[in-house]
Amino acid sequence: MIVRVEPLTTTRRLAGPFDYALPAAPVQIGSIVRIPFGRQTLDGVVVGFSDTTEVPDEKLVTPSGVRADSVAPELVELALWLAAEYCSTPARALSLVLPPRGKPRTELWAARTGAPPAGERLTANQRALLAALPRAAGADLAALRRLEGRGLVAIAPRRRRRVPLSEPRADEPVRPTAEQEAALAAVERGGAWLLHGVTGSGKTEVYLRATAAALERGEGAIVLVPEIALTPQTVGRFQARFGDTVALLHSALGEGERYDERQRLRSGEARVAIGPRSAVFAPVRDLGLIVVDEEHDSSYKHEGDPRYDARRVAGWRVGPGAQGSGRDGSGTRAGERRFGGEMRKRLLVGSATPRPETWHGLARLTLSERVGSRPLPPVRVLDMRGARHPLHPDTRRALSEARKAILLLNRRGWSNFLTCRECGKVWECPQCDVALVLHRAEHAVACHHCGHRERVPERCDACGSPAVARYGAGTERLEAELGAALDVPVFRLDADTAGAKDAVPELLGRFAAASTGLLIGTQMVAKGHDFPDVTLGVVVDADATLRFPDFRAEERTFALIAQLAGRAGRGPRGGRVLVQTMSPSAPAIVAAAQHDTRAFVAGELERRRVLDYPPFADLIRIVCSAAAAGAPRAASGEIADAVSGAAGTTVLGPAPLFRLRGRHRSQVVIKTHDRAAAVAAVRAAVDRAANRREHREVAFSVDVDPQ
Ligand code: ADP
Ligand code: ZN
Ligand code: ZN
């Protein structure tokens, strides 16, 4: 018997699997083995078995070891699919499902062996020790050992779980509404479903009950949330309802905690995994349900290789065909039908602002109003054309009247860019072709793409003029100005203040506890927080996302405004929302102001149908980069030539991209109606180009379904 092993190496140039002789220790698919590989020794994952091999006997080597921990066979299959689907390598995809390094922590545990026989002489101290058992021996080990010697106590090592920090919430039992009942009944039938409901309409309650139903069937569940730091409330509610059945899997866990939480899932002790994107790979036993909360959130797309989409991976795990590509143009029953009779697993994705492709591809369930029928806050659009100051007078007035408010400006730093009034020089990053942003508190101008920093210039280094002008306003500047103008405390939440591990929950906690306050920040402030006493929401420069040269600009702008509106007016005092924009009649802004997801998505789908964008076609983006200027262009031209001509496929580009981190870049975008064929063609073209000597300085990045 031969084992087929995929070596865990990072290079794209080695295509496995490779054949090895069967080791003495038992192996199965997913076993992790040490393999001699060329001159080195690597870890590899067993991906298959074979009766024959082309490797001659004398060259066939045996793995030198087998790790105790392994990958579940289903996850090996998933990784191999993922490698192909996202034009990556099996090794990189397998690294996503690999068990974390670590080992269990043990402690000595003391328990009584029985009641001390009558006449046994014990000191008061010993009596107290016995009365407190069973417990960890800890500092009393010596005293307990003496009792062990007398046969009164048994001491043995025991595993001790390292428990991630969490804040379970009070969990009040509620009676589901008729719409929640209907949604649950539908999910019960199996298949993939979109739960559309405004913030506060009771979606989380549906997730909780669907999870409870899965547990009752003896199945496990995965619950994906955008970012743990920004969604402690959702996590807390799952922990409150399901206790230790819930394993928490986020990136801020310590190595030991991560190890233990994963082990609890693998052994079946924990049945529900909750976490961000990567939790979609959780080794949950008898997986029956995956919930994706806030499915529109861009964090579900991984930006490193492989550039997987957790929502699509979730679809794969509950059943092939459940990804909901939706190109069959069918109606709302698509998800149900695609699953057919035999698919009993469930995918439940929810959002107040679903992506158009999800709306199009999945069967839809609706929660039409907020629980308690509390109305959504009215939204006023403020026309900023010709305005001089970043804040509209009405915004200023509203802010000075509100006790508690949230203000969103999707741009951090003090000002957007610096320019010389004399000669027009714009300060740019030496590594990237973008303007540097002023961060006043740090006396620095910084590149938001590569992190390059330099001191704030006192004069222009081109002409010597001291007249350096600052244009635009970022969160730092608004924080300073409003902090001075308002008599409420101002809190700032953006990537600059979110640095330390617990900074975000700490800041949100302080804002929640404050009786008055203004929370200023980037899109982070629009995520799922629940502050019932916020009565005012403000979006400054709603066009910031709209100006992006990307077909998702409309979708992002709509979601951002609608999500922020969802943060305001959740309490009995109600609330309102102000949106400052230079494009007051843009469809995304008009629809968001009317809380009209249906109209927005309908218009957006029509636009995409005309332009032949997702979900009516699939996109694949290939970026070639190199330090030398001409190289990326040549490599991407070659890929474009290789892929063009495939049926149902259009090639856009090569087109230059701005220089990033000192690397010149060139991109090709493939638009296709035959996804599988196009992915295969791109993979072949990239592999060929990557293996050519003249492109050895070029890095290739393939993004299937770019966001
Ligand atoms: P969403 O996830 O859509 O934002 P939630 O599930 O968090 O909404 O519900 C909003 C609030 O309404 C929560 O405080 C929740 O406990 C409460 N709630 C949800 N469903 C019901 C119900 N059927 N009856 C009463 N209160 C409910
Ligand atoms: Zn100058
Ligand atoms: Zn830079």
For residue 298, give the amino acid letter: S
Q: What pLDDT does 339 receive?
A: 43
Q: How far apart are CA 588 and CA 562, in angstroms?
A: 10
Q: Is 475 in the pocket of ligand 1 (CB under 6 A)?
A: no
Q: Is 200 in the pocket of ligand 1 (CB under 6 A)?
A: yes
pLDDT at 125 over 50: yes
DSSP tag of 486: -
Q: How far is the CA of 658 from the centre of ligand 3 (A)?
A: 10
Compute the average pLDDT of residues 489-509.
83
pLDDT at 156 over 60: yes
- Greater confidence (486 vs 106) lies with 486
Q: How far apart are CA 640 and CA 637, in angstroms?
A: 5
> 141-150, 154-163, 394-403 — which is least confidently predicted?
154-163
Q: Is 201 in the pocket of ligand 1 (CB under 6 A)?
A: yes
Summarize pLDDT for 35-60 with one digit per residue, the tens: 888 788 889 999 999 888 888 877 88
- Greater confidence (66 vs 602) lies with 602
Q: How far apart are CA 595 and CA 179, in angstroms?
A: 19
Confidence label for 332 from pLDDT (cuts 50, 70 and 90): very low
Summarize pLDDT for 267-323 with one digit per residue, the tens: 999 999 999 999 999 999 999 999 999 999 989 999 888 999 999 999 999 985 444
Q: What pLDDT does 329 receive?
A: 35
Summarize pLDDT for 24-40 with one digit per residue, the tens: 888 999 999 998 887 88
- Point out the ligand nearest to the CA of residue 433: 3
3-state class (DSSP) for residue 276: coil
Closest CA to 562 of 531, 601, 613: 601
pLDDT at 603 over 80: yes
Confidence label for 168 from pLDDT (cuts 50, 70 and 90): low
Summarize pLDDT for 81-115 with one digit per residue, the tens: 999 999 888 999 999 999 888 777 778 888 888 77
Task: Write down the pTM of the prediction.
Answer: 0.86
Neighbouring residues of the ion ligand 3, judged by CB less than 5 Å: 429, 431-432, 447, 449-450, 452
535 touches 238 (CB < 8 A): no
For residue 560, give the amino acid letter: L
Summarize pLDDT for 170-197 with one digit per residue, the tens: 777 889 999 999 999 999 999 999 999 9
For residue 19, give the amino acid letter: D
Closest CA to 682 of 672, 692, 696, 694: 672
Question: How many residues are listed for the chain in this entry?
Answer: 707
Q: How far is CA 327 from each of CA 81, 621, 647, rounded to the nearest angstrom?
A: 21, 20, 17
Q: How far is CA 116 from each of CA 33, 82, 145, 149, rounded to the nearest angstrom?
A: 51, 61, 15, 13
Q: How far apart are CA 685 and CA 695, in angstroms?
A: 13
Confidence label for 231 from pLDDT (cuts 50, 70 and 90): confident
Q: How far is CA 178 from each of CA 27, 359, 368, 506, 601, rounded to the nearest angstrom?
A: 51, 22, 11, 37, 25
Q: How far apart are CA 603 and CA 587, in angstroms?
A: 8
Q: What pLDDT does 506 receive?
A: 84
pLDDT at 73 over 50: yes
* Partners of 493 in the β-ladder: 521
Q: What pLDDT does 64 receive?
A: 87
Q: What pLDDT does 165 receive?
A: 66
Q: Is 174 in the pocket of ligand 1 (CB under 6 A)?
A: yes
578 touches 408 (CB < 8 A): no
The residue to mutate among 179, 199, 205, 376, having the most atoms of ligand 1 within 8 angstroms of its beta carbon, is 205
Summarize pLDDT for 417-437 with one digit per residue, the tens: 889 998 988 899 998 888 899
pLDDT at 646 over 80: no
Q: Determine the atom of ligand 1 nearest the C-alpha atom of 199.
A: 4
Percent of residues, the chain, with pLDDT higher than 90: 46
Residue 581 token pair: 């924009």
Q: Is 566 in the pocket of ligand 1 (CB under 6 A)?
A: no
DSSP tag of 8: -
pLDDT at 205 over 90: yes
- Point out the ligand nearest to the CA of residue 658: 3
Upper half-sphere CA count for residue 146 (Cβ side, 13 Å): 11
The residue whose CA is least distant from atom 9 of ligand 1 is 202
Q: How far apart are CA 582 and CA 593, in angstroms?
A: 14
